[in-house]
């Protein structure tokens, strides 16, 4: 106890204001510790995946304490009590002196956790009582316990694709061409089988509106570091708008495989393909027989014609004739069943008699 403890009074001697009691006062506090921590083995964990942990938290102090929260970490060795914090805690109820609480919690691996590169590529689980240090304790350095079991494997496949061929210079809707590509698992864990899809893009950026080419490749299950090369024949959809496109190929295009990186699955061609207009018939009359030199009104005569359908180039439509030969102003229809390049005889309907001429005045 100290008189004038704030030293508000000016005194002759400021050093004799206090006196101590003979006996000491023992102020008791709680002392939280984790007695046990465990988890089921985690194989192929990845950022965002969850697993269940169990622990027993005990109050080794001589006084009761209020509710607290136990947090969990990933450690790279079996003795460490620090590491990457997992998302998720366990609520521990108020505990009497020597009281204990056992329970489970679901934790999530955060994005910051990378595959363990130590000699043993597994993490250890660590549990820490009163993880936020909200409760005053006799000792704050004994709250954590390491499971001692390296059974948490963090990692995932990482599918990456490389195009081995460039598209043809030009094709029309409905046409086919072949694509060769290599899909590699650059991750730390094996991948299951996946589907590679191909699309056309005007700007080398994959978008949901890009036309999908008909045809896919099933890449097999791949161990870490193993590639798979294959060819597939794709078809340009009939609805594709004529334009200049790049070809984009994407491994696991539907994102069915959980990967460490979902943004590196695609490769884009360096050359473009010109999608031309759709092929259509183009009938051209190449010859027509001459009419008789003289004929009477009301009579018929025969006409022989020949026509052809020009082939279209994959690079674009061919130039076609815009006119046709005719000896009369009345065209005669040509049936669609006529074979290309064949001649046929047609009978022109009887030419009507001209109307009577008005008498001259």
- In the chain, what are the domain boundaries? 32-154, 159-275, 280-326+340-351
Q: Where are the alpha helices (DSSP H) in 263-338?
A: none
Maximum distance among all alpha carbons in the chain? 158
**pLDDT of the residue at 41:** 93
Residue 80, burial from CB neighbour count under 10 angstroms (0-12, 13-18, 19+)? middle
Q: What is the pLDDT along the chain (361 residues), one digit of tens a residue?
A: 888 888 898 988 888 888 888 877 666 688 999 999 999 999 878 888 899 999 999 999 999 999 999 999 999 999 999 999 999 999 999 999 999 999 999 999 988 887 776 767 799 999 999 999 999 998 999 999 999 999 998 888 899 999 999 999 999 999 999 999 999 999 888 899 999 999 999 999 999 999 999 999 999 999 989 999 999 999 999 999 999 999 999 999 999 998 888 899 999 999 999 999 855 566 777 787 788 877 766 667 677 777 665 554 444 444 333 333 444 444 444 444 444 445 555 565 665 666 666 666 5
Structure tokens at 24: 């000491």
Phi, psi of 193 (to 5 degrees): -60, 145
pTM of the model: 0.53
Tell me how far the alpha carbon of residue 266 is from its chain's centroid: 9
Q: Are 66 and 135 in contact (CB under 8 A)?
A: yes
d(CA 53, CA 126): 10
Q: How many CB atoms lie within 10 A of CB 343?
A: 11
DSSP sequence for 107-147: EE--TT-----SSS--BEEEEETTTT--S-BS-SSS-EEE-
Residues 6+ apart with CB under 8 A from 98: 58, 59, 60
d(CA 82, CA 28): 28
DSSP assignment letter at 178: E
Is 159-275 the same fold as 32-154?
yes
Structure tokens at 73: 């970490």
Tell me how far the alpha carbon of residue 284 is from its chain's centroid: 50
Fold of 32-154: Immunoglobulin-like (2.60.40)
Fold of 159-275: Immunoglobulin-like (2.60.40)
What angle (nearest 5°) sits at the alpha carbon of residue 307, between those of residues 302 and 313?
175
**pLDDT of the residue at 155:** 83
């Amino acid at each position: 106890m100290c008189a004038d403890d704030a030293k508000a009074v000016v005194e002759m001697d400021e050093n004799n204001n206090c006196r101590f009691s003979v006996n000491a006062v023992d102020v008791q506090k709680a002392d939280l510790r984790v007695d046990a921590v465990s988890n089921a083995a985690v194989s192929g964990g990845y950022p965002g995946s969850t697993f269940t942990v169990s622990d027993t938290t005990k109050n080794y102090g001589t006084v009761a304490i209020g509710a607290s929260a136990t947090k969990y970490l990933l450690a790279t060795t079996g003795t460490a009590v620090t590491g990457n914090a997992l998302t998720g805690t366990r609520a521990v109820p108020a505990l009497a002196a020597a009281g204990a609480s056992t329970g489970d919690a679901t934790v999530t691996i955060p994005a910051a956790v990378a595959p363990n590169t130590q000699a043993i590529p597994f993490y250890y689980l660590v549990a820490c009582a009163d993880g936020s240090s909200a409760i005053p304790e006799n000792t704050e350095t004994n709250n954590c316990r390491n499971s001692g079991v390296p059974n948490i494997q963090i990692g995932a496949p990482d599918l990456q694709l490389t195009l081995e061929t460039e598209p043809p210079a030009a094709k029309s809707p409905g046409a086919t061409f072949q694509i060769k590509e290599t899909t590699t698992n650059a991750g730390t864990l094996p991948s299951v089988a996946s589907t590679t899809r191909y699309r056309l893009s005007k700007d080398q950026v994959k978008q949901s509106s890009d036309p999908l080419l008909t045809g896919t490749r099933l890449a097999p299950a791949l161990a870490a570091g193993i590639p798979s090369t294959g060819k597939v024949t794709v078809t340009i959809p009939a609805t594709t708008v004529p334009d200049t496109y790049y070809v984009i190929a994407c491994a696991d295009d539907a994102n069915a495989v959980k990967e460490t990186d979902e943004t590196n699955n695609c490769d884009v061609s360096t050359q473009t393909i010109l999608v031309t207009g759709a092929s259509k018939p183009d009938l051209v009359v190449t010859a027509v027989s001459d009419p008789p030199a003289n004929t009477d009104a009301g009579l018929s005569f025969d006409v022989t014609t020949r026509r052809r359908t020009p082939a279209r180039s994959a690079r674009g439509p061919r130039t076609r004739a815009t006119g046709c030969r005719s000896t009369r102003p009345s065209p005669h229809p040509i049936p669609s069943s006529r074979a290309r390049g064949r001649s046929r005889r047609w009978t022109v309907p009887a030419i009507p008699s001209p109307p009577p001429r008005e008498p001259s005045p």
